Amino acid sequence: MVEKRPVTVTVNGQVRQAEVEPRRTLADFLREDLNLPGTHLGCEHGVCGNCTVLLDGQSVRACLMFAVQADGHEILTVEGLVAPNGDLHPLQEAFWEHHALQCGFCTPAMLLTAYEYLQQHPVPGSDEEIREAIGGVLCRCTGYQNIVTAIRAAATKLTAAGPAPASRSVAD
Amino acid sequence: MAEPATTRPKWIGQSMKRVEDPRFLRGKGRYIDDIRLPNMAVAAILRSPHAHARIVRIDTSAAERLPGVYAVVTGQDVRARMAPLPTFAVGPIYQDLLAVEKVRHVGEAVAAVVAENRYIAEDACELIEVEYEPLPPVVDPFAAMEPGAPLVHEALGSNVAYQRTFTFGDFDRDFNEADHIVRAKLRWPRSSGMPMETNGAIGDYDEGTGILTIYANSMNFTYFQWLIATSLKIPASKLRVVPINAGGSFGSKFFMHKVPTLAGFLSMVAGRPVKFVEDRIDHILNNDHCGSDRYYDVALAVDRDGTMRALQIKVVDDYGAYLQFGTGTHGNALAQVVGPYRIPSVQYELTAVLTNKNQQGAYRGFGSEVNNWVLERMVDFAARELGLDPVAIRRKNFIRPEQFPYRTPTGNIYDSGNYEGVLDKALALAEYDRWVAERERARQEGRYLGIGIVTAQERSVFSSTEFWFWFDQPGFPVTSSPESATVTIDPTGKFIVTLHSLAFWGNSPETVATQVVAEQFDIDPADVVVTYAASQRALPGTGPGGSRFTVMVTGALVGASGRLKEKIKKIAAHRLEVSPEDLEFHQGSVRVKGSPERALTLSEIALSAYMFKLDLPEDVESGLEASYTFDHPYTTLPSPDRKDLGVFYPFMGHACHIAVVEVDPETGQFTWHKYAAVADAGTVVNPMTLDGHLTGGTAQGLGTALYEEYVYDDRGQMLTASFMDYLVPTAMEVPRIDIDHQETPSPYTPYGIKGAGEGGRMMAPGVITAALEDALAPLGVRITELPITPAKLVRWIAEAKARGQAPTA
């Protein structure tokens, strides 16, 4: 057994500490050690993007990172998009409203990828640009169209909410 | 069964937001890999690196010594304790959970390790020593049919598992009388559903009771779970399968038998709960359900004016190493083999071949999507060879609205349809005439713009006869394919609907159930909770598949609601001192017709039903629950001579898809100008989710047409075992899809609903092929195989140019 190493990360605003084997992936760490199963594994090759989480606000493949590499960083998972009072994030609401999910397996990754995109582009570009932004996450159910619609709808809602929208940046 | 309400539906037909969604949006989907039981171990599989090899020796001792390993099992352990896996094949084609004497394809399971976690289990797999004696692989199905070819199953004595020619109608007369025969050889390669979540299960054997619980994301556990019990040599009454939300299926989890059986077996061996979830390589190499892998030789007999007279199909299907579903995927194709056209006779020759590849199973369309592609290819070839317009030749041959119910040559009935109506809507939606003009302009400018059109069928609600009508003496001529529902009103007046098969794989079973129950009782949909029964408690169910679930569960829900409403009316009539016939359901109450002030809320009735027996009529028992099992509403047996296959897939949807593309002949890349789809799935239950199915299915069909293929090399090695090589379309590849609907209700189903889950994938390959071919028509390119990769397009363009731009004839 390889010696375990301590890891301290801030996940969804909470400081979490654990001892993990160096080879433990960030995805397994989140899912099993921190009991956050919303991060899903679709291929474990870094292709499907279904395990996408935000590390210091940047999307990363949780299957391609080791937990020890996340030491000292801040992570946002789908569980952290929900408001403390349990309300869905406007992106989640828009995905629901516009039927942007079917089986729901890629949905957490899609939401986080869209969240990152809207952080960088509060007013989204063309549909092609939105498609490019989510191009790293495979969805087998929807054909993507309603996801594009939902992201645009969420952006409208978020920008209408004022200059300081209900965005919980990872630093909050 | 009870009649659906005759008034205009209030909830059926609404784009209601899905009740399933909140849990998934929150990341609380509780998929199989999210579930952890106390003391649970995890399994990993050692797979064959050879396509065909004898297993000489397996040494598991080093793996067993690794700390954290609880058990290592091989084919010998399986052979000692288990029966072979279930199969619909006839003949000696047995499949063991783990390979015993030999391996028959790359990726076949050879040994399994149960360990503390997946890391250790995979470490241990690397410590297992297997000595193989490689055998010559048989990869090409035509080589497999040659005398002296290596045998995949020696006991069968041949690699041809099945061969037979069926003739329907006066084929010889029609074929010989026709003016012209259009011929083509067509190739549809293997792909698969490839859901983002793989197949998985947790076995939990209770040594105290002898009950084995299996949690699984398989679709059809109530239909087939007793077969898994038979494999495991335990009484079916002691196998409890618990349905778990599936993260996509598209066929891949339709009666998945290997994974749940394995998890159950390993739990019995290891004496603790064991989880096995495929990783992506496991799934690609060894899942139960690869799609069709077919070679066609087709002839369509037509008259000069375009009238279709007869269709001859000779098809070789490369089934891989096992034949789990028999040749049911061709039975499916025979349900709608003539498409929407009045083709009076058909000859269908099927040769099912075994090779050293993974097995076939179900993939959205179940073989009918291939037939759609083939038939629409033939219609386009006919139009071109006869100098007819592709729209006109289709219109000319359509079955007319007044001809329904229409008996097709194979015996299957088409219930209803209005194909010209769909066509006209699609032409308008796609702005077809404008694009025809644009095509002329483009061609004058030397650009390659093309328009494709398909008009094709989507059969829905299978009857199980398609699995066995192939044989004169079928081993198991099953005729049932029911679905059940239970409607419960709790003592507070809230509704609980129980479904009896694993219905959720990304579709909307809970939303459908909510809409139907809200419709039946005139209640607020928010008052309905939907749950799933585990197998020991489950009533007969068949699960989703063959676009059956919405139709069938609606029938069950309408039936259960009818029974429950009768009881409610009896109680209310007793308390209001009126006759039950004088009562009606209205916004959460039961009231007296004509005197709306005399009413009882459902909560009041529910409370009395559970708590106040002495307020009930004497012959009414306590509680408020009813169940109903809805059998297939229209199916008949095949004739003994199999010239008539009977009615087995009668609720016939239809669609017209139109695509406009522009090809860059230098690179083989193309751009989308338009994709329009009009579907007729009878009465629409939820337009929003139907559109979702259609869009997603179209994207999948696009993958089939352009990118996806299981490639085996000539040694049987799998070259596309990851998403780096097996290309699932991303958001960048899928165009915007414009959708419209026509509703031609079925006369035979509740509310007139037809199934629609597979339509997108059943149309898209044909229309994309047609559009690309049309774009390159000036060069004389004829497309007869998928996937149409840029490299192939460039090659075909070069070949066409080399032929001196001779038009095909």
CA B648, B680, B562: angle at the middle one, nearest 5?
A: 65
For residue B187, the SS3 value is strand
If residue A91 lies in a helix (H) or strand (E), which one and from where to where? helix A90-97
Cα separation, B762 vs B366, in Å, equals 9
pLDDT at B199 over 50: yes
- Distance between B691 CA and the closest CA of chain A, angstroms: 9
A140–B contact, CB cutoff 8 A = yes
Dist. CA B361–CA B216, nearest whole Å: 18
Predicted pLDDT at B808: 47
State the helix-helix crossing angle for B419-430 and B390-397, rounded to 10 degrees: 160
State the best of B21, B116, B363 to mutate against chain A, taking most chain A CBs within 10 Å: B21
Q: Please give the span between the terminal C-alpha atoms of chain B, in angstroms, as a whole number.
A: 56
Mean pLDDT, rounded, for B15-32: 97
Q: Which of B503, B518, B510 is nearest to B12 (CA)?
A: B518
- Across B105-196, the runs of DSSP E, i.e. the strands, are 109-115, 129-134, 160-168, 180-188
Q: Is the pLDDT of residue B806 over 60?
A: no
Question: With contact defined as beta carbons under 8 Å apart, do B728 and A138 qualify?
Answer: yes
Q: What kind and span of H or E run contains B584?
A: strand B583-586
H/E element, B120: helix B118-127
Closest CA to B610 of B558, B567, B559, B562: B567
**Chain A residues touching B119 at Cβ < 8 A:** 21, 23-24
- Give the mean model confidence (pLDDT) for residues B484-494: 98
pLDDT at B51: 98
Q: Distances in Å between the alpha carbon of B398 and those of B82, B173, B307?
A: 53, 21, 10
pLDDT of residue B225: 83
- Among B68-72, B257-261, B322-326, B753-757, where is mean pLDDT lowest? B322-326
pLDDT at A72 over 50: yes
Mean pLDDT for the stretch of residues B129-154:
98
- Which of A145, A146, A147, A148 is best to mutate for the B interface (most B CBs within 10 A)? A145
B363 and B291 Cβ atoms separated by less than 8 Å: yes
Which residues, 6+ apart, have CB-to-CB distance to A18 below 8 Å?
A6, A7, A29, A33, A34, A67
Strand partners, B198: none
Please tell me the distance in Å from B194's CA to the nearest CA on chain A: 8
Give the span between the Cα atoms of B488 and B627, in whole angstroms. 9
CB B119 to CB A134 under 8 A?
Answer: no
Residue range B398-462+649-802 forms a domain whose CATH class is alpha beta
pLDDT at B429: 98
Write the burial class of residue B577 (CB in 10 Å: 0-12 exposed, 13-18 middle, 19+ buried): exposed
Q: Are strands B589-592 and B345-354 parallel, antiparallel or unpaired?
A: unpaired
pLDDT exceeds 50 at position A167: no
Shortest distance between the Cα of B247 and any Cα of chain A, in A, equals 5
In contact, A23 and B119? CB cutoff 8 Å: yes
Q: Domains of chain B: which residue ranges?
A: 21-28+482-630, 398-462+649-802
> Could you say which of A1, A39, A42 has the minimum Cβ distance to residue B196?
A42
Tell me if chain B has a CB within 8 Å of the CB of A21: yes
Q: What is the pLDDT of residue B7?
A: 64
DSSP string, B355-421: -SSPPB---TTTTHHHHHHHHHHHHHHHHHHHT--HHHHHHHHBPPGGG-SEE-TTSPEE----HHH
Least confident of B16-25, B87-96, B156-165, B719-728: B87-96
Contact B195 A103 (CB under 8 A): yes
Mean residue pLDDT across chain B: 96
ipTM > 0.90 (yes/no): yes
Looking at per-residue pLDDT, the higher value among B257 and B51 belongs to B51
Contact A60, A54 (CB under 8 A): yes
In a 3-state reduction of DSSP, which class is residue B300?
strand
pLDDT at A172 (0 to 100):
36
A26–chain B nearest CA distance, Å: 14
Among A47-56, B301-310, B461-470, the least confident range: B461-470
Residue A17, min C-alpha distance to chain B (Å): 20
Contact A140 B736 (CB under 8 A): no
| A165: confidence class by pLDDT, cuts 50, 70, 90 | very low
Q: What is the residue extent of each domain of chain A?
A: 5-80, 90-160
Q: In whole angstroms, what is the distance from residue B207 CA to residue B70 CA? A: 17
- Checking if the pLDDT of B1 tops 50, the result is no
Cis ω on the peptide bond leading into residue B195 (within 30° of 0)? no
Are B645 and B725 in contact by the 8 Å Cβ rule? The answer is no
- Model confidence at A1, pLDDT cuts 50, 70, 90, reads low
* Average pLDDT over every residue of B791-808: 84
Q: Is the peptide bond before B405 cis (omega within 30 degrees of 0)?
A: yes
- pLDDT for B809 beyond 70: no
Residue among A105, A117, A129 with most chain B CBs within 10 A, to mutate: A105
A25 to chain B, any CB pair closer than 8 A? The answer is no
Partner residue facing A142 (CB), from B31, B695, B732: B695
Superfamily for A5-80?
Beta-grasp domain (3.10.20.30)
Q: Which of B338, B635, B327 minimizes the C-alpha distance to B464?
A: B635
Cβ neighbours for B57, distance < 8 A, ≥ 6 positions apart: B129, B130, B131
Cβ partners under 8 Å of residue B626, min gap 6: B486, B487, B560, B561, B562, B563, B564, B567
Q: How many CA atoms lie within 13 A of A45 on its CB side?
A: 15
Half-sphere CA count of B344, side-chain side, radius 13 A: 12
pLDDT in tens, B618-658: 999 999 999 999 999 999 999 999 999 999 999 999 999 99
B394 phi and psi angles, rounded to 5 deg: -70, -50
Alpha-carbon gap, residue B168 to B102, rounded angstroms: 41
Closest CB to A102 among B30, B692, B731 = B692
Q: Which CATH architecture has domain A90-160?
A: Orthogonal Bundle (1.10)
pLDDT value for B805:
52
pLDDT at B164 over 80: yes
Query: Residues B311, B349: contact at Cβ < 8 Å?
Result: no
Reported as a pLDDT band with limits 50, 70 and 90, residue B219 is confident
Q: Do B196 and A105 touch (CB under 8 A)?
A: yes
CB-based contact B25 A92, cutoff 8 Å: yes
B interface mutation test: which of A25, A103, A112, A144 has the most B CBs within 10 A? A103
User: Distances from the Cα of A129 to the Cαs of A90, A109, B449, B809, in angstroms?
Assistant: 20, 18, 25, 44
How far apart are the C-alpha atoms of B4 and B7, rounded to whole Å?
Answer: 9
CB-based contact (8 Å) between A43 and chain B? yes
Task: Find, among B406, B417, B297, the residue nearest to B344 by Cα.
Answer: B406
> Is the pLDDT at A9 greater than 90, yes or no?
yes
- pLDDT digits 0-9 by tens, B285-307: 999 999 999 999 999 999 999 99
User: Are the Cβ atoms of A24 and B193 closer than 8 angstroms?
Assistant: no
CA distance B753 to B682: 5
Contact yes or no for B736 and A39 at CB 8 A? no
Calculate the dihedral angle through the C-alpha atoms of B327, B333, B335, B340, rounding to the nearest 10 degrees.
Answer: -170
Distance, in Å, from the CA atom of B392 to the CA atom of B386, rounded to the nearest integer, reads 12
Q: What is the pLDDT of residue B360?
A: 95
- Encoding tokens for residue A97? 């409203």
Q: Where are the alpha helices (DSSP H) in B522-651?
A: 549-576, 602-611
CA distance B363 to chain A (A): 13
**Token pair in block for residue A167:** 């965005």
Given a contact cutoff of 8 angstroms between Cβ atoms, the answer to whether B310 and B76 are in contact is no
Which tokens sit at B724? 């780096």
Does A32 lie at the interface with B, CB-CB under 8 angstroms?
yes
**What's the length of chain B?**
809
Task: Give percent of chain B with pLDDT exceeding 90.
Answer: 92
- pLDDT band of residue A162 (cuts 50, 70, 90) is low
Average pLDDT over residues B245-272: 95
Considering only the beta carbons, identify the residue of A82, A134, A140 that sits closest to B248: A140
Percent of chain B with pLDDT over 70: 98
CATH of B21-28+482-630, one of 1.10.1760.20, 3.40.50.10420, 3.40.640.10, 3.30.365.10: 3.30.365.10
One-letter amino acid of A150: A
